[in-house]
Structure 1
Amino acid sequence: MRAEQGQVLAILGPNARGKTTVLKTMAGIPRPGSGTVETSGPVGYVPQGHSAVFSFTAFDIVLMGRARRVRVYESPRAADRVAARESLGRVGALHLAERGYAGLSGGERQLVLIARALVSECDTIVLDEPASALDLRNQSRVLAVLRDLADEGMSVVMTTHHPDHALHIAERSMLMVGPDQQLVGDTRELLTGDVLSDLYGVPIVAADVATHSGTRRLAVPDFGRGVR
């Protein structure tokens, strides 16, 4: 598997297939038991869920991303604070800087965590289901930020349970079929109804649909009998 510069790579598959393990291994937590991971620079990691024990502001959370740039026993410098504000601005969340992190919505927290990863000056950012618990509007916001980062030249790798998210922003996808079986390829070519149906064990139809922004490929699962 290779994460190309300026592209989004989506990793899909049922639970317990190792998607999170792949991301953590790419970020160096932990080191792989076998094989190698090669990176062109620092990797920023955004976990699936995160909560703060203390009353940190959003700015404080982002500033923590400068840890690798601050020497032991030193406090963040003025340049680190400037970088934190710039990172918040980069994801459109500068207005959240002085707000308490615990009081932010799920979408706002996710933007802050992305900013924390970016402020580490990473070349690659890996995200574990970045839009899984968000409402539709915040899903759109987060996906747009990730697409923008790739367009700026960053390598973006994300796991998702939503094929639509991969079809919307990812050039390439990897399907975790089994412990020793993965499929990697162009997203639109790989994420067909038949392939997704086999992967998840439910009927899924993939079709091109006219939307406000143009024709898009959507994947629709058939969950069986529902409300009549």
Structure 2
Amino acid sequence: MSRTDPPRAEAPADRTQAAASAEPVIEARALGHRYTKDRWVFRGVDVTAHRGRVLGVLGPNGRGKSTLLRVLAGLTRPTEGSVTARVPVAYVPQSHASPFAYSVTDMVLMGRSRHVKAYATPGRRDRALTAEALERVGMAHMADRSYAELSGGEQQMTLIARALAAECQVMILDEPVSALDLRNQARVLTLLQELTASGLGIVLTTHHPDHALHLADDAVLVLGPDDVRTGPAAELLDAAALSELYGIPVTTARVEGPRGPRATVVPDLGPTRTDLSPSLQEASA
């Protein structure tokens, strides 16, 4: 069943105050889902997403992270339990290949579908919100490009713009940086931080625990069908929990970055190389 581990460290005062004031926008209670009669993906899960906060969902492949996101987004009906969404929710898939040669503008304009009456065409406001969403994600200059010709990072930005055009107040993203290079990972994560600061609620899955440490306020660790742990990210994402989650030794560390110190995760990838450059040897010491 779902559980919240006891705190391992005192949460910063500003984050505690933010948690108290953040409005719950999605609440899931006693959530369970199964594929067959005897194969439960998860059971007894309690999850709350808040306005202006990031909820990070972590776990190994095949543990039901994507299914949990689809249930929270209202795209998959849970086998048991309930999900209450108090605000409009938008879902951004892990990858999306369009079979048609839609332009970037047309892809984003699809986010307005729930606001357009049947058999009607998008109006002036729909097109204005589409243009605004593209501007917000830095894609306005590619509005007339074919979506199929975009890079992975550009496609991801387009899908996020589509969610923004839908006027969502919670954005649920399945592995938003899984196929992106470092530059585009940073670009997407920075945008998500900016959206959170503007009051949007964010729920995302990630295979990068360091991204969750950097971005998430709250966390969900999916260890197994009857072991789904929830709690503040600062308390839940420690070396012991991550080692148990992924089944390998994991070390957490603070490193100096261009914008100051930040937490990162170092997994045991096997024997350490000895042919590193002096600068890398010093950094790994």
Q: Which TM-score applies when normalising by structure 1?
A: 0.97
Match of 1:12 among 49, 52, 58: 58
Task: State the secondary structure of the residue aligned to 2:51.
Answer: coil
The residue number in structure 2 matching 1:177 is 223
Distance 2:249 2:183 in 1: 27
Aligned residue type for 1:105: S
Structure 1 segments of 4+ aligned residues over 4 angstroms from their partners:
none
Contact kept? 1:171, 1:186, Cα under 8 Å: yes
Q: Deviations over 1:23-44 (max 9, x none)?
A: 1111111222211111111110
Contact kept? 1:41, 1:123, Cα under 8 Å: yes
Contact kept? 1:26, 1:43, Cα under 8 Å: no
Match of 2:86 among 40, 46, 49: 40
Gaps of 5+ in 2: 1-46, 275-285
1:86 aligns with 2:132: yes
Match of 1:99 among 121, 137, 145: 145
1:227: how far off? 6.3
Match of 2:107 among 24, 38, 61: 61
Equivalent runs, 1:53-202 vs 2, <5 Å? 53-202=99-248
- Pairwise CA RMSD: 1.2
Q: Greater strand percent: which structure?
A: 2
1:214 aligns with 2:260: yes
Task: State the secondary structure of the residue aligned to 1:62.
Answer: helix
1:226: how far off? 6.9
Task: State the secondary structure of the residue aligned to 1:50.
Answer: coil
1:66: how far off? 0.5
Gaps of 5+ in 1: none
Distance 1:132 1:207 in 2: 23
Aligned residue type for 1:72: A
Greater C-alpha radius of gyration:
2
Percent of residue pairs bearing the same amino acid type: 50
1:133: how far off? 0.6
